[in-house]
Structure 1
Amino acid sequence: MTVRPATSARQGRVDAGMWTQPDAVATWLRARGIEVSSPLAITRVGIGQSNITTLIVDAEGREWVMREPPAGTTAGQTHNLDREVGILRGLAGTEVPVPAVVGTGTCSGGSPFVVMERASGSALETEEDARSLTPDQRYALGTSVAVTLAKLHRLDPAILNITVSEEPYLLRQIRRVSSAWDRVRAGSRHDSCWSALRDTLADHLPADSPAVIMHGDYRLSNLLVADGRITAVLDWELCTVGDPLADLAWLLDDWRPADEPAIVMPSPTRAGGFPSRAEMIDIYREITGRAVENLDYYRAFTQWRAASLLEGVRFRRLSGAMGTHAAIDPDALEDSIGVLLASAREHLRNSG
């Protein structure tokens, strides 16, 4: 996992969280019977643009991972850590590897946080990270990525003990994404294109697929890898019970070859040596036994959704809510939103 320096408290609202309070974190860990040697070093890690993820290292080199929402997050937004913790505990012991939860807490300012054990390995976030693996390792890893998603989709959703909506996943996602877009649309030059795609997606909903446990953001940068094998699947905040093909399509969108336009969120697969998208689909189909149909619609939906999420990131960046860590230029975000929406239009044309 790439470790980047922490941002000072003067550089943004994000610094109000627990991750800026190493003494308080040490006290919290000790209260749970965990041996800790001070001082602690806490640094931002990863390229995530939603919850803040940090690496905690004590004076003896012991490590933990902490996640918390950015400053200013309100209840009801997609940062529900208690729900994510429940999902991690539900998945513990299954064929899908997840980090073990140490516990949850609330910082002095009232914001929640969760601390997890540090799983071995690091995330492949960039093409350079992928090139640290041999071509054979990249191919084997890609196969494992498809296999792990298929195994997730074969689990009984009841193990999560979460309320399952009776409304079809795609329909409720279109409604939720639309609601989030309403908060940022005034500052977007893509609003007209976005709205046209939304209307077409809503008018051509496919038949419901059998509901499965969905990760919601399944891609290489959300996996820890050691020696070319997956050691943990991370970032379950968007997990739900819903349409498996939306999860698969999201992974395929991230599975970019070098001849496709790059976007601001890096695609390690552009380094080459990974299975093709067609091969990933075949692996998934073989394990799940599920028909994989109308993927063009799902690719259009997931790219429209990704563009919507990036507009939200752009809004938060412009407002200063995420500090300077892993900062992405707002103009670059806007360009990537345009690339995604154009690709979504093309997939919709192909979906018939």
Structure 2
Amino acid sequence: MAAQKNRNWLEDAVLDHGSNDALDDFDGLIDWDRFNAWLEASEAPGSGPVTAVRKLAGGLQNNVFLLSRDNQDLILRRPGKHLKPKSNETMLREARVLKALEGSAVPHPRMLALCDDADVLGACFYLMEPLEGFAKSGDLPGEYAANASWRRAMGDALVKAASALGEVDYLAAGLEDLGKPENWHERQVERWRSQLEGYAATPGYDPADLPHVDVVGRWLADNLPNDRRIGLVHGDLQFPNVMFSLQTPKISGVLDWELVSLGDPLLDLGWILSSWSEDGDPEGKSPMVKPWDGFLSRRELIALYGEQSGRDMAQVPWFFALACYKLACLLEGTFAASKAGKVPEPIGLSVHAYATWLMTKALQIIAG
């Protein structure tokens, strides 16, 4: 009913709205007449039409734009032009989570307005506040490059953000439908092993090319943690998905909530640990950001999470190994796609090399 109601006023508004020929529509991703009509009727701050737009880096699945209207900047996040089966559902879920996080200790961009009418831009989308800072891998900017204490603060802030997310009461926030909490820990090995085996349908791909899957999977199944909890899990908590302030060493906000689900929050810590670099790691992986000296050690990250959360940190190796196992299984999808010619071969080989590193690290973890 809401979508039909929106469609009626939108059709009337578009007829009276001026043209926006001067603004790029990014190959049809933004119909400016329809968008500005919706924007004027929305609760987003500012007034008048969009006067400037810039496309930002937003990952592989979604498109992110910086918009300006009446001296007010807004971030537009929408799926790609060719929607996947759950693209609209993912947008609505992201917006719900950001709204639910208001008032929490989790650093995040404030959700400003949601459009659940796919007729406006061909997909559901939302607007959120811009954040100051940067989110990237590779060479660090500013004081993060020059000052080791700022780099140390990055690990501290990541762990505190993960712990804060784990403390959110998902039931009180109305997010109990984000996943299946029953037997979550018991289901993990088969869930991601099935994902890996599914790629076998791609000609030229053999799941057996990913090493140590059987031994790591057996260890995970045989060593389930005693301290098991269910909460919100971001799903990809690492440097490219976190905005760090350039003014002070802190997180401006955690980004890219498309993978958020219910699970054990310690998996987010495992994810952070898997992205880390340390002496003694298997060869073949460079630090995600540079310079790397000055960062907290994994041991320090684990101790800090324990202080923040009160969780039993003796359980961490299970979640660390699970993070490696899960990510490796997921990454093999890109390697399989390269076999089918859907992804350039060098990218496929690079991703497979990282998946192999992850499984080698998992083997190292379970060996103690």
Of stretches 206-215 and 29-38 in structure 1, the one that deviates more from structure 2 is 29-38
Q: 1:45 to 1:196 in 2, by over 3 A?
A: same
* 1:331 corresponds to 2:346: yes
Q: 1:154 to 1:82 in 2, by over 3 A?
A: same
Q: Partners of 1:62 and 1:344 in 2: how far apart? A: 46
Q: Partners of 1:210 and 1:135 in 2: how far apart? A: 35
Q: 1:315 to 1:291 in 2, by over 3 A?
A: same
Tell whether the 8 Å contact from 1:197 to 1:345 is kept in structure 2 after alignment. Answer: no
Tell whether the 8 Å contact from 1:297 to 1:347 is kept in structure 2 after alignment. Answer: no
1:188 CA drift (Å): 6.1
Unmatched segments (≥5 aa) in structure 2: 1-22
Max radius of gyration: which structure? 2
Partner of residue 166 from structure 2, selected from 153, 172, 192 = 153
* 1:248 corresponds to 2:274: no
Q: Partners of 1:181 and 1:96 in 2: how far apart? A: 32
Tell whether the 8 Å contact from 1:53 to 1:65 is kept in structure 2 after alignment. Answer: no
Find the counterpart in structure 1 of residue 302 from structure 2. 281
The Cα RMSD (Å) is 3.5
* 1:168 corresponds to 2:180: no
Percent of aligned pairs sharing the same letter: 22
Q: Partners of 1:289 and 1:194 in 2: how far apart? A: 36
Partner of residue 224 from structure 1, selected from 231, 235, 243 = 243
Partner of residue 60 from structure 2, selected from 34, 49, 69 = 49
Q: Partners of 1:39 and 1:49 in 2: how far apart? A: 26
Tell whether the 8 Å contact from 1:43 to 1:56 is kept in structure 2 after alignment. Answer: yes
Matched residue type, 2:57: V
Find the counterpart in structure 2 of residue 120 from structure 1. 132
* 1:212 corresponds to 2:228: no
Q: 1:241 to 1:279 in 2, by over 3 A?
A: same
Q: 1:309 to 1:63 in 2, by over 3 A?
A: farther
Tell whether the 8 Å contact from 2:324 to 2:361 is kept in structure 1 after alignment. Answer: no
1:123 CA drift (Å): 1.3
Tell whether the 8 Å contact from 1:79 to 1:237 is kept in structure 2 after alignment. Answer: no
Matched residue type, 2:258: E
Q: 1:273 to 1:239 in 2, by over 3 A?
A: same
Q: Partners of 2:76 and 2:163 in 1: how far apart? A: 28
Q: Partners of 2:136 and 2:256 in 1: how far apart? A: 14
With CA pairs under 8 Å and 6+ residues apart, which has the higher RCO, 1 or 2? 1
Matched residue type, 1:149: A
* 1:192 corresponds to 2:175: no
Q: 1:154 to 1:58 in 2, by over 3 A?
A: closer
Find the counterpart in structure 1 of residue 150 from structure 2. 137
Q: 1:36 to 1:181 in 2, by over 3 A?
A: farther
Aligned runs of 1:279-318 on 2, under 5 Å? 279-313=300-334
1:197 CA drift (Å): 1.0
Q: Partners of 2:231 and 2:111 in 1: how far apart? A: 23
TM-score by length of 2: 0.75
Partner SS, residue 123 of structure 1: coil
Q: 1:259-302 CA distances to partner (integer Å, 9 max, x unpaired)?
A: 85337xx7126533221111111111111121123544433322
Matched residue type, 2:312: A
Matched residue type, 1:152: L
Aligned length, in residue pairs: 330
Q: Partners of 1:350 and 1:78 in 2: how far apart? A: 38
Q: Partners of 1:41 and 1:318 in 2: how far apart? A: 37
Q: Partners of 1:88 and 1:287 in 2: how far apart? A: 22
Tell whether the 8 Å contact from 1:128 to 1:271 is kept in structure 2 after alignment. Answer: no
Tell whether the 8 Å contact from 1:129 to 1:268 is kept in structure 2 after alignment. Answer: no
Q: 1:215 to 1:199 in 2, by over 3 A?
A: same
